[in-house]
Amino acid sequence: MLSVAIPPFARIGAVLEPHEVNGQPGAIIRDRDGRIVIVWTLDILDGRIHTIRSLVNPDKLTHLGPIADAHAVIQEKNQSRHDQQNP
């Protein structure tokens, strides 16, 4: 499966994996340990992205695999950005 690093999450090792979610195109974003941070689904209308839906509720994601602490991942991403801006 193709994994894509997405700035600014790339600095902390997170990746985006294109993935079909509930029969729709979407993506799973994982932390450096492969745990799920967030799931996106895309509503496509006339060949264009019409809506992006985000799911972060761990109770609704557990069936997909191990779940990351999304709050901790966001804090790490923010700290990484701060460290990069203030070396």
Residue among 43, 49, 48 at smallest CA distance from 21: 43
Give SS3 for 28.
strand
Range of the domain at 35: 4-85
Residues 6 or more apart whose CB falls under 8 angstroms from that of 57 comprise none
What is the number of structural domains in the chain? 1
The pLDDT tens digits of the residues spanning 31-77 come to 889 999 889 999 999 999 999 999 989 999 998 899 988 778 778 77
Mean pLDDT (the chain) is: 83
CA atoms of 14 and 7, how far apart (whole Å) = 9
The reply to whether omega before 66 is within 30° of 0 (cis) is no
- What predicted TM-score, i.e. pTM, was given to this entire model? 0.74
Residue among 13, 11, 64 at smallest CA distance from 36: 64
